[in-house]
Amino acid sequence: MAVQNINMTCIICPRGCTLNATVDNNGEINVAGNMCARGKKYAVNELTCPMRTLTGTVITKKGGVLPVKSEKEIPKKYLLKCAHNLANVKADDNIMPGDTILDNILSFDSDEEPVRLISTGKISY
Amino acid sequence: MKNKKYDIVIIGGGPAGMSAAVAAYDAGVRSILILERENSLGGILLQCIHNGFGLHRFKEELTGPEYALRYENMVKERGIEYSVNTTVTSLTQDRKIIAMNSEDGIFEIQSEAVILCMGCRERPRGALNIAGSRPAGIYTAGSAQKLINRMGYMPGKNVLILGSGDIGLIMARRMTLEGAKVHAVVELLPYSGGLSRNIQQCLNDFSIPLLLSHTVIKTEGKERLNSVTVAKVDSNRRPIKGTEITFPCDTLLLSCGLIPENELTKSANIQLDAITGGAVVDQNRMTSAEGIFSCGNVLQVHDLVDYVSEESEIAGRAAAAYVSNKSQKKNENIQIIAGDNVRYVVPQLVTDNKDITVYFRVTDIIKNVRILVCDGEKEVFSRKSLKVAPGEMETVKLSSDLLSNCKDGKLTVKIIQE
């Protein structure tokens, strides 16, 4: 018997599969509706620890705007906090696309693996 | 600029223009010029700093600037010439281009082939008939995106968004992450035109309500917007009295559709499709003007940049073939027609019998359908689909056999419910 039955939209790719996840008495998660293996992993994550990529901008010392992202997904619960922390970052103006801006955007939680903040494009002035 | 004669001139240096240029170069053409009016290549991708681009093309998830940079590098590696800060002011049927920039002044270019890659612009407030005063604080979603992501300005703090296409949804999340309160996304239609993944990750993740079958009926404020009133609409999209909700807000973002930017196309007297707002093209993306091609969002509004690149490669390769072998005018045309429940098809014409893919959009969300291609009354192709939606471009492949067997010069694409 399933104790929990949850529908969700997969966000991994633009297809946006409707997933149905059931959790049985032993806590085992079964996923249906996914058209690829990544969908299953997404559904399991959504029920345990939802993950998202952070994207945003930081300003540079000379007043430019630089697009950035988290190098990998971070726990969804930290998305807003990390986004707000970007307001305190001032990047160098010689930063190139792909360069590291911060070594760890999750430094406030020592239990989390470090996640770097990286530049994704050119600075616009 | 020394050379004023080129084999291929590409108008617009966004994803379409860069993909077309790379494809034309790889097909052997060396005399190529890209004209871009902004100060760098990349187009609208540069302000789309969120991720989700490139899953088809590069098999990895990129942000807009990253996707743009990949193509910019491909352009530069090949030594393809480009000119930024350059605006094209006119184009003629015989491929004469007038352009200008601050270095060269006004100049003329003659090209063997031209590829139109101008993209699209947003439907402005003036086209929406929103009642109320004219205070500051009302922006199109894309302008707000540029202000935040490229210029570092925050347009407002209390936000309402009209239109639930992908740009509206993306901006709901973006404004939230930047510290604004997004009260709701309001959609006139009973469904969202955006990708379902964006409903999840841009609205549901932040508990932003999506008000379907609602529209803005009043904006108030003198210097600055201070409230927006929305109401539910009936099946004729008329506001229903008594359902008004007033949101105190200083910002209204409009995400109400994109319009292909075809002023130059019109100046060259090229035939346009009334539904797509883009040119009528054949399978090579050649327009009604010989040697002038069109691809990307200026031809039809795409869901994904990956598909823009795909379409632009078709145009780039075809322009290269046209330049190297101009005796390819063909008469045996097959018209592709949008039939029941189909809003438009691209291409609208086929001039040879090679396998092609037809892209189309449907008029409504319909479940359990059959996608049909008919030659007169006769079904020549049929495929099942669980669901079709206006927000998702559909495709159907037409084989060379099917095309060469076409009897009355017309193939109709239609959708029937099972």
Q: Which residues of B touch A56 (CB under 8 A)?
A: 49, 177-178
Does residue B338 have a pLDDT over 90? yes
Kindly state the tokens that stand for A63. Answer: 């007043």
Mean of the pLDDT values across residues B32-52? Answer: 97
Bridge pairing between strands B334-338 and B410-417:
parallel
pLDDT band (50, 70, 90) for residue A102 = very high
Strand partners, A69: A55, A118
Mean of the pLDDT values across residues A39-54? Answer: 92
Which among B69, B150, B197 is the nearest to A14, CB-wise? B197
Judge whether B316 and B342 are in contact, CB under 8 Å. no
**Residue B55 burial (CB < 10 Å; 0-12/13-18/19+)?**
middle
Q: How many CB pairs under 8 A join A and B?
A: 85
Q: Which of A62, A67, A81, A78 is CA-nearest to residue A111?
A: A78
Contact A56/B196, CB-based, under 8 Å?
no
Please give the full DSSP string across B182-243, using - where no structure is assigned.
EEEEE-SSSS-SS-HHHIIIIIGGGT--EETTEEEEEEE-SSB--EEEEEEB-TTSPBPTT-
Amino acid at B28: G
State the Cα–Cα distance between residues A101 and A123, nearest whole angstrom.
13
Kindly state the tokens that stand for B106. Answer: 């006004």
Instruction: Please tell me if residue A41 touches chain B, with a CB cutoff of 8 Å.
Output: no
Question: Any idea which of B132-136, B250-254, B293-297, B346-350 has the lowest mean pLDDT?
Answer: B132-136
Tell if the pTM clears 0.80, that is, is over it: yes
Mutate which: A9, A66, A90, vs B, most B CBs within 10 A: A9
Does residue B348 have a pLDDT over 90? yes
Contact B197/A11, CB-based, under 8 Å?
yes
pLDDT band (50, 70, 90) for residue A2 = low
Q: What pLDDT shows up at residue B207?
A: 97
Mean of the pLDDT values across residues B357-381? Answer: 93
Which among B63, B151, B199 is the nearest to A69, CB-wise? B63
pLDDT band (50, 70, 90) for residue A35 = confident
Does residue B2 have a pLDDT over 60? no
Q: What pLDDT shows up at residue B282?
A: 95
Instruction: Please tell me if residue A81 touches chain B, with a CB cutoff of 8 Å.
Output: no
Instruction: Please tell me if residue B385 touches chain A, with a CB cutoff of 8 Å.
Output: no
State the Cα–Cα distance between residues A21 and A30, nearest whole angstrom.
6
Which among A11, A80, A120 is the nearest to B66, CB-wise? A120
Amino acid at B166: D
Closest residue in chain A to residue B54, using alpha carbons only = A13
Q: What pLDDT shows up at residue B94?
A: 95
Q: Which of A18, A22, A7, A28 is CA-nearest to residue B389?
A: A18
Q: Which of B416, B315, B282, B298 is CA-nearest to residue B362?
A: B416
Kindly state the tokens that stand for B185. Answer: 């996304």
Contacts of residue B93, Cβ cutoff 8 Å, sequence gap at least 6 = B268, B269, B270, B289, B290, B292
pLDDT tens digits, one per residue of B15-34: 999 999 999 999 999 999 99
Closest residue in chain A to residue B201, using alpha carbons only = A11
Kindly state the tokens that stand for B158. Answer: 């209390």
State the Cα–Cα distance between residues B417 and A66, nearest whole angstrom.
49
Q: Which residues of A touch B66 (CB under 8 A)?
A: 97, 120-121
Contacts of residue A80, Cβ cutoff 8 Å, sequence gap at least 6 = B176, B177
Q: In chain A, positions 2-31, which contact chain B (CB-CB < 8 Å)?
A: 8-14, 16, 18
Instruction: Please tell me if residue B59 touches chain A, with a CB cutoff of 8 Å.
Output: no
**CA distance to partner chain B, nearest, from residue A24 (Å):** 25
pLDDT band (50, 70, 90) for residue B361 = very high
Helix axes B166-177, B141-149, angle to 10 degrees: 40
pLDDT tens digits, one per residue of B249-277: 999 999 999 999 999 999 999 999 999 99
Closest residue in chain A to residue B303, using alpha carbons only = A14
Contacts of residue B185, Cβ cutoff 8 Å, sequence gap at least 6 = B161, B162, B163, B164, B168, B169, B172, B203, B208, B209, B210, B211
Q: Which of B80, B58, B75, B78 is CA-nearest to residue B67?
A: B58
Instruction: Please tell me if residue B417 touches chain A, with a CB cutoff of 8 Å.
Output: no
Amino acid at A18: T
Please give the full DSSP string across B23-55, using - where no structure is assigned.
HHHHTT---EEEE-SSSSTTGGGGG--SEEE-T
Alpha helices (runs of H) in A49-105, residue ranges in sequence order: 79-85
Q: Which of B165, B163, B159 is CA-nearest to residue B147?
A: B159
Mean of the pLDDT values across residues A75-83? Answer: 96
pLDDT tens digits, one per residue of B380-399: 999 999 889 888 899 999 99
CA B149 to chain CA mean position, Å = 20
Q: What pLDDT shows up at residue B15?
A: 98
Closest residue in chain B to residue A98, using alpha carbons only = B66
Q: What pLDDT shows up at residue B333?
A: 86
Judge whether A14 and B195 are in contact, CB under 8 Å. yes
Q: What pLDDT shows up at residue A1?
A: 54
Q: What pLDDT shows up at residue B128?
A: 84
Kindly state the tokens that stand for B83. Answer: 């000119």
Average pLDDT, chain B: 94
State the Cα–Cα distance between residues A71 and B36, nearest whole angstrom.
31
pLDDT band (50, 70, 90) for residue B136 = very high
pLDDT tens digits, one per residue of B137-173: 999 999 999 999 999 999 999 999 999 999 999 999 9
Q: Which of B256, B250, B125, B124 is CA-nearest to residue B182?
A: B250
Q: Which of B166, B162, B179 is CA-nearest to residue B252?
A: B162
Q: What pLDDT shows up at residue B50?
A: 97
Does residue B331 have a pLDDT over 70? no
Q: What pLDDT shows up at residue B330?
A: 62
